[in-house]
Amino acid sequence: MKKDHGEKIVVIGAGNVGEAIAYTLMVRKQANEIVLVDVNEDRAKGAAIDVLQGTSFHKQTGVRQGGYEECADADIVIITAGIARKPGQTRLELARTNVSIIRSITESIMKHAVNPLLLVVSNPADILTREVQKVSGLPSERVIGSGTSLDTARFRANISACLNVNVTDVQAYVLGEHGDSQVAVWSSASVSGIPLTDYENIQKVELDRREITEHTRDGGAEIIGLKGATFYGVSMAVSTIVEAIVKDEHAILPVSHVLGDTYGSWSGIAFSLPCRVGREGIEQTFLVPLSEEEQKALDQSAELLKEFYSQVKEV
């Protein structure tokens, strides 16, 4: 039986991203209970009170600060904790620090939860999704990374702006790593079912694919450079994944999980492909048609993630 909203969602990490996610879940009526867990209990408590007071104008949702024991009966546990990248810090340095943090968090969750559904948002997202699945011992379909869901949203928004069409009519994916090696899949992009190239011919326009691809890839860095952090976009992306789960929508979303042996050279890594998502997590993974260049780029993305993970896993 489908539910209108989830019963209980635990958000690990009450920083900007965790707080924005909690607020978005409340506004979109996706939970009866939202629990914020953070090593800084005052921060978590303050964020919970702030979001809770907003429910007086909207819908009564229980929002509170709590501990890891709250994971025992949670419908979904969302992991946002970790440090932000500092000026001059390499991605490898960031990964090594956050892998250590994520291991501890995952162990704390699994002390209380039995077969939980985990949604990993912390960065570097694909590396940490793989580590959470390894440490938790859960089936890969129950450890979902937010992956390229936000990158895909940026890609579609950029295309829609250039064509002056409604973004909901643009179908296109960014796949692979949530990071520099992500792959914008132009070859299967379409506008309301019309292949993009055909639509361009009809409208007598030509998109600058290179510029849009780079703007999509660098979208997060641009926001961080302007305001110091990005959290609203990712909170909407996470909320969309949550909705697919709690409403058992069987929605196809570009999310990340550890791929099995049937994926050949991609097996054992976590990166994004279109996945059907429902109440029990990832139900099925799909391969979209790719150009030769896109296939090569995805293979390279997979190899980069393998090499990157090998440098951080022994921390």
Residues 6+ apart with CB under 8 A from 266: 259, 298, 299, 302
Phi, psi of 248 (to 5 degrees): 50, 50
pLDDT tens digit sequence for 121-132: 998 899 999 999
Model confidence over 150-178: pLDDT tens digits?
Answer: 999 999 999 999 999 999 999 999 999 99
Average pLDDT (269-278) is 96
Residue 86 tokens read as 């500092």
Residue 138 has a CB neighbour count (10 Å cut-off) of 21
Q: Is 144 helix (H, G, I), strand (E, B) or coil?
A: strand
Residue 255: name the closest of 78, 85, 105, 70 by CA.
78
Residue 286: CB atoms within 10 Å: 9
What is residue 220's predicted lDDT score, i.e. its pLDDT?
84
pLDDT band, very low/low/confident/very high, at 90 (cuts 50, 70, 90): low
User: Could you list the active site residues?
Assistant: 178
Phi, psi (deg, nearest 5) at residue 150: -75, -40
Whether 64 has a binding-site annotation, put simply, is no
* Residue 68 annotated as part of some ligand binding site: yes
Query: Is residue 126 annotated as involved in ligand binding?
Result: yes
pLDDT of the residue at 1? 33
pLDDT of residue 119: 98
What is the torsion angle, in degrees rounded to the nearest 10, for the CA atoms of residue 272, residue 146, residue 188 and residue 202?
-160
Q: pLDDT averaged over the chain?
A: 92
CATH code for the part of the protein at 149-312: 3.90.110.10
Residues 6+ apart with CB under 8 A from 82: 13, 97, 98, 101, 102, 122, 123, 128
Comparing C-alpha atoms, which of 69, 231, 29, 94 is closest to residue 150? 231
Which CATH number applies to 6-145? 3.40.50.720
* Residue 155 φ/ψ region, left for φ over 0, alpha for ψ in the -120 to 50 degree band, beta for the rest: alpha
Does the annotation list 97 as a binding residue? no
pLDDT in tens, 32-78: 999 999 999 999 999 999 999 988 787 678 999 999 999 999 999 99
Where along the chain do the CATH 3.40.50.720 domains lie?
6-145
Q: Residue 230 — very low, low, confident or very high, per pLDDT cuts 50/70/90?
A: confident
Numbered ranges of CATH 3.90.110.10 in the chain? 149-312
For residues 249 and 278, the answer to whether their CB atoms sit within 8 Å is: yes
> Measured between alpha carbons, how far is 53 from 295 in angstroms, rounded to an integer?
49
Q: Is 210 annotated as a binding residue?
A: no
Question: What does the pLDDT look like over 171-193, one tens digit per residue?
Answer: 999 999 998 899 999 999 999 99
Pairing of strands 170-175, 183-191: antiparallel
Q: Is the pLDDT of residue 262 over 80?
A: yes
Helix (H, G, I), strand (E, B) or coil at 103: helix
**Global pTM value:** 0.93
